[in-house]
């Protein structure tokens, strides 16, 4: 567990120091999230074994990161928009580092929390997504993505040949609407006395409260900074979905029923440090097969498609669609043609 603690909490400390002290700290925070993580992946082991029996430690780290997010985001908004320590260039560097932290640590952690059965943990995960102005993901992810992943019914599963910029709009709007329909249908199945407020009222009300808090902290600049940080984080979240499911499809029978989600329906990345930073989110196949499994115990095996580079690097490559397709299309076709449960021949 120590590697997860170090990898995920270090950038939080560096970003907090950048907000409070300025100077070289913004550059150090950004270098950690980019250069250091990449070098650690290259110089360290390719992958590390899963850790069994660490559920309590995993929950403690998730709670720590969730609560830290709720402190770090307003600190960052205030420091960038109105703080006395950051120069204009320091504000840009801090914003880039904080945006990467929100997308690569806060999001995977909130994703972990919304899969936990304990109500308090789920609510903390929802709170993180709400402050990222992306609360609907707490409904769309478990109720739509996990049900329909790797089929045309899931707006967050990218099709072969689909460019990331077209995918962004389809996935954001599609998941918002599909999540709303799923929650509304779930409410209709419950007795009226057990309904409570519609989750989307919580998401939208929470987003409005978050924007208002940013305005109170730093005026219109605070609202603008929050909006930019959230857009950056949301883009990374959608990029992760794009990369992790690009071109992989479950077969659908004549009745419209899809085969069970298997190891071959998600792309994975084994690199040790970026995986530790992202709480093993790149071990995506096992998560879809076992969504309740805690992140330290997620597994990799040779039946799972592997990305040719670490997840953060593949996300950058995806922003250049011709290069992305040249790298990924043949790999996706090979996995589509492979027998179920077997990897395609190495090329």
Q: Which residues face 252 on adjacent strands?
A: 258
Structure confidence at residue 297 (pLDDT): 97
Q: Which of 187-191, 249-253, 282-286: highest mean pLDDT? A: 282-286
Cα 341 from Cα 304, distance rounded (Å): 9
Q: What is the CA radius of gyration of the chain?
A: 20
Structure confidence at residue 328 (pLDDT): 98
Greater confidence (267 vs 197) lies with 267
| Predicted confidence (pLDDT) at residue 235 exceeds the cutoff of 90 | yes
Q: Kindly report, residue by residue over 321-343, the tens digit of the pLDDT.
A: 999 999 999 999 999 888 776 77
| Predicted confidence (pLDDT) at residue 174 exceeds the cutoff of 70 | yes
Mean local confidence (pLDDT), 141-147 = 97
18 close to 78: Cβ distance less than 8 angstroms: no
| Predicted confidence (pLDDT) at residue 8 exceeds the cutoff of 60 | yes
- Confidence band (pLDDT; 50, 70, 90) for 238? very high
| Predicted confidence (pLDDT) at residue 231 exceeds the cutoff of 70 | yes
| Predicted confidence (pLDDT) at residue 46 exceeds the cutoff of 80 | yes
Structure confidence at residue 194 (pLDDT): 58
Structure confidence at residue 341 (pLDDT): 67
Q: What percent of the chain has pLDDT over 90?
A: 90
Cα 200 from Cα 181, distance rounded (Å): 10
Q: Which residue has the tokens 């120091």?
A: 17
Handedness of CA 21, 231, 153, 344 (dihedral sign): negative
First and final C-alpha spacing in the chain: 35
| Predicted confidence (pLDDT) at residue 70 exceeds the cutoff of 70 | yes
Average pLDDT over the chain reads 95
Task: Report the predicted TM-score, pTM, of the whole model to 2 decimal places.
Answer: 0.95
| Predicted confidence (pLDDT) at residue 179 exceeds the cutoff of 80 | yes
Mean local confidence (pLDDT), 53-76 = 98
Q: Which residue has the tokens 């883009």?
A: 235
Structure confidence at residue 346 (pLDDT): 60
| Predicted confidence (pLDDT) at residue 36 exceeds the cutoff of 70 | yes
Angular region, 141: left φ>0, alpha ψ -120 to 50, beta rest: alpha
| Predicted confidence (pLDDT) at residue 192 exceeds the cutoff of 70 | no
Q: Kindly report, residue by residue over 81-122, the tens digit of the pLDDT.
A: 999 999 999 999 999 999 999 999 999 999 999 999 999 999
């Amino acid at each position: 567990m120590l590697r997860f603690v170090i990898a995920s909490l270090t950038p939080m400390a560096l970003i907090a120091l950048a907000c409070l002290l300025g100077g070289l700290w913004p550059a150090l925070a950004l270098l950690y999230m980019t250069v250091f993580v990449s070098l650690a992946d290259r110089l360290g082991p390719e992958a590390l074994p899963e850790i069994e029996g660490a559920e309590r430690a995993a929950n403690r780290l998730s709670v720590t990161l969730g609560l830290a997010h709720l402190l770090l985001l307003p600190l960052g908004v205030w420091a960038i928009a109105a703080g006395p320590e950051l120069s204009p260039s320091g504000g840009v560097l801090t914003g880039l580092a904080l945006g990467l932290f929100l997308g690569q640590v806060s999001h995977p952690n909130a994703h972990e929390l919304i899969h936990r059965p304990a109500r308090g943990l789920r609510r903390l995960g929802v709170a993180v997504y709400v402050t990222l102005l992306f609360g609907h993901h707490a409904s769309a992810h478990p109720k739509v993505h996990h049900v329909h992943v790797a089929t045309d019914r899931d707006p967050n599963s990218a099709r072969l040949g689909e460019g990331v910029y077209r995918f962004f709009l389809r996935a954001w709007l599609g998941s918002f609407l599909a999540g709303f329909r799923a929650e509304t249908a779930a409410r209709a199945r419950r007795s009226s006395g057990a309904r409570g407020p519609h989750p989307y009222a919580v998401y939208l009300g929470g987003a409005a409260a978050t924007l208002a808090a940013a305005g109170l902290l730093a005026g219109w600049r605070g609202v603008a900074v929050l909006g930019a940080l959230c857009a950056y984080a949301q883009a990374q979240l959608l990029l992760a979905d794009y990369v992790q499911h690009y071109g992989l499809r479950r077969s659908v029978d004549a009745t419209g029923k899809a085969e069970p989600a298997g190891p071959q329906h998600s792309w994975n990345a084994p690199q040790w440090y970026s995986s530790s930073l992202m709480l093993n989110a790149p071990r995506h196949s096992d998560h879809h097969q076992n969504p309740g499994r805690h992140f330290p115990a997620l597994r990799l095996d040779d039946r799972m498609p592997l990305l040719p580079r670490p997840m953060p690097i593949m996300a950058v490559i995806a922003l250049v669609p011709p290069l992305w397709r040249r790298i990924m299309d043949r790999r996706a076709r090979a996995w589509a043609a492979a027998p179920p449960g077997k990897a395609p021949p190495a090329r």
